[in-house]
Structure 1
Amino acid sequence: MKSLFTFLAILLINLSFAQDYKVIYEMKFKPTKGKDSIVSEHFVLMIKPKTNSSKFYNYNYYYSDSLMTSIKDKNPQGGFDINTASFKKANYPLGVIKTKTDFYLVKTLDGDSYKINETKPSWKISNETKSWKDYKLQKATAKILGRNWTVWYSNEIPVSDGPYLFKDLPGLVFLANDDSGDYDFSLISLQKSDLVEDYFPSILSKSIEITSDKYKKVYKAYTLDPAKQLRNGVYVDDSGLKINLTNGASPEMIRAIEKDRLDNIKKFNNFIDIE
């Protein structure tokens, strides 16, 4: 009988670790250097403990992809009109793919996406703890891509993961902030199931793997000519959707969109990764 109870206990523990998790985080950030205006976005973290992997992305991507799928399902023959205003804009277009061996930061720029293999964080775990919504959290710190982060994790949730590039701690990350006060994550929803949807945003899924230095060059080129694709007859909307313009874009349209994008480049210059 004792061996049976032991077997059942081990089975329950294994099932607990095998279950997938869907976690929703709120990310608050200051998009412009030197300004205190704050933008709030929701991000999804899909965790698969069996493969020690996860995917992290802006929730608005999921909304827009679901809407596009619904439109296509209703019009299987094609020929449908798309109202791009109905798509939700991802104010911070970011994705992260984490596996046992690799951490990829995935970014989108002017309709194309890029995947950068980043170094795993080197954590310093503190003895400091605190209570938060019935969970006991423990403090850890690390410098990640130029920012000094403080995170609070709980080993009551048996997964070593969290938002952004946070992973390899003895539990799930609930809270995180950088020491400049520019970025802040907080867990707002936690669900576990036997199978989490294996989804990653369509705009990010066909990413080109490049180095961080090469991406910086790509971004620099974009800031110097943000209307390049438009002059070649391709319009990219806020969701990253590429639309081929049959008759091209008028000079007035090009000037207006170029000005808008240059303004956005100035407004959004406080990136989560500063190295």
Structure 2
Amino acid sequence: MKKTLLLIAIFCITISFAQTHRFFYDLTIRKPTDTATINMVLDIDKDKSKFYDEEFLKVDSINKSSNQKMQTNSESNQLLIRKTNTSENQQFLTHTYDYFVVRSNDKMNWKLEKEIKKIENITLQKASTNFGGRKWIAWFDSKIPFQEGPYKFNGLSGLVYEVYDSENIFHYALTKNKNLPKTYDTTDFLETHYGKKPIPISLKQYQKVKLDYYNNIVEVLHEFAKKGGTIASEHDLSSPEEIEKKRKTLQQSIKKYYLPIEKDKAIPYPND
């Protein structure tokens, strides 16, 4: 955090000379099975804010410097573009070979708290909100003139340094920042998925896509195998009984590892 504060101080001096203001966050997700930390990036341009996995930057740098065509996928499933100073989000979602975009308006109703905390010469103020079926706590700096933050968290009178839910399942923490003299082009991996344009889709339509996949998981894998893919299976899937056994195993695995950040938009997988 100390390094972050030094960088932020430099940022305040050089803000007027940059076209893309880039902030790096650690996203820690505490699942029932394990804990994972994903490095994320928030780019703030003149008209838009973009949030995505840092791994995309690494691959994009290799592609641009060596004319390669490497690809990667999002580990966070939190790929977003938002109009600056609005709550109008475009969220990009991958599913098998498809790339979708879901639009939403996610206004945050923040409650400013009296509590503050100081880290060296930086004063952070506390705020709270209920969003996506979870209660969230944020710490922000009103001296950084951006009403932005990680994922969909924006609307405070300054940059969000840290935000986490009351159960501390999702935890975002600012780690560093840099200013870029030119607007960074994310076309290859965000606005498109390496050339594949996103299909506009509603939340209900996306939920149906995921439910259809869940209900027909065995058939989907069979189609994958027909196209040359390899499936590791300990079951003989020649009988209806074995097919259903495999289906149940795969469905249980899908639900086990599914942890939606927004509970009210969760895919309604059956409880059986």
Mark yes or no: TM-score above 0.5.
yes
Structure 1's 263 and 111: CA in aligned 2 closer, same or farther, altered over 3 A? farther
Match of 2:129, as an amino acid? A
Q: Give 2:228's match in structure 1, choosing from 222, 235, 249.
A: 249
What is the match of residue 110 of structure 2?
A: 123
Instruction: Map residues 202-217 of structure 1 onto 2, 5 A cutoff.
Output: 202=189, 205=192, 206-217=197-208
2:91 partner amino acid:
L
Q: Where in structure 2 are there 5+ consecutive unaligned residues?
A: 1-11, 235-245, 265-272
Tell me the equivalent position of 1:183: 170
Q: Percent identity among equivalent residues?
A: 25
Are residues 1:58 and 2:53 paired?
Answer: yes
Displacement of 1:37 in angstroms is 2.4
For residues 120 and 92 of structure 2, what CA distance do their matches in structure 1 show? 31
Looking at structure 2, the residues matched to 62 and 94 of structure 1 have their Cα atoms a distance apart, in angstroms, of: 15
In structure 2, what is the equivalent of residue 46 of structure 1?
Answer: 43
Instruction: Provide the residue aligned with 2:267 in structure 1.
Output: none
Structure 2 residue matching 1:253: 3-state secondary structure: coil
Pair 1:103-2:89 in alignment: yes
* Secondary structure in structure 1 of the residue aligned to 2:227: coil
Deviations 1:139-188 (A, max 9, x none): 11122222211111101211111100011211110000001221000000
The CA distance in 1 between the partners of 2:183 and 2:14, in whole Å, is 17
Q: For the residues of structure 2 that align with 1:157 and 1:43, how far apart are their CA atoms?
A: 19
Amino acid at match of 1:253: I
* 1:223 aligned counterpart, secondary structure: helix
Post-superposition Cα deviations, 1:166-215, rounded to whole Å, max 9, x if no partner, equal: 11211110000001221000000111233241315626622222222222
Give the letter for the 1:274 counterpart: K
TM-score with structure 2 length normalisation?
0.72
Q: Deviations over 1:205-261 (max 9, x none)?
A: 22222222222111111222346665445x8xxxxxxxxxxx7236x62757x8896
Separation of aligned partners in 1, 2:103 and 2:68: 38
Q: Distance in 2 between matches of 1:171 and 1:220?
A: 39
Equivalent pair of 1:46/1:196 in contact (CA under 8 Å): no
By how many angstroms is 1:21 displaced? 0.7
Q: 1:65 to 1:232 in 2, by over 3 A?
A: farther
Specify whether residues 133 and 212 from structure 1 end up closer, same or farther in structure 2 by C-alpha distance, changes over 3 A only. Answer: farther
Alignment match of 2:209 (pick from 218, 222, 232): 218
Q: Hey, what's the Cα distance between the residues in 1 that align with 2:189 and 2:216? A: 25
- Evaluate the alpha carbon distance shift between residue 200 and residue 147 of structure 1 in structure 2; reply closer, same or farther with a 3 A threshold: farther
Query: Retained in 1: the 8 A contact 2:213–2:220?
Result: no
Are 1:193 and 2:180 matched, yes or no?
yes
Taking a change above 3 Å as real, the CA distance of residues 263 and 90 of structure 1, as seen in their structure-2 partners, is farther
The answer (yes or no) to whether the contact 1:20–1:196 under 8 Å persists in 2 is yes
Instruction: State the shift of 1:123 in Å.
Output: 1.5
- Which position in structure 2 is the counterpart of 1:265? 254
**Alignment: residue pair count:** 234
Aligned pairs for 1:18-167 within 5 A: 19-31=19-31, 35=32, 37-48=34-45, 50-51=46-47, 53-68=48-63, 73=67, 90-100=74-84, 101=86, 102-118=88-104, 119-132=106-119, 134-167=121-154
Please, which moves more after superposition, 218-227 or 170-179? Answer: 218-227
| Aligned partners of 2:92 and 2:190 also within 8 Å | no
Any conservation in 1 of the 2:28–2:36 contact (CA below 8 Å)?
Answer: yes
Q: Name the SS of the counterpart of 1:163 in structure 2.
A: coil
Q: Secondary structure at the match of 1:16?
A: helix
Q: What is the DSSP-based 3-state SS (H/G/I as helix, E as strand, rest coil) of the residue aligned with 2:208?
A: helix
Quote the offset at 1:13 in angstroms. Answer: 9.3
CA distance in 1, matches of 2:141, 2:251: 42
Shift of the alpha carbon at 1:125? 1.7
Indicate the larger mover: 108-117 or 219-228: 219-228
Q: TM (normalized to structure 1)?
A: 0.72
Secondary structure class of the residue paired with 2:231: helix
Q: Distance in 2 between matches of 1:20 and 1:69?
A: 18
Post-superposition CA distance 1:25-71 (Å, at most 9, x none)? 0000023xxx26211000110001x32x2000011233334445566
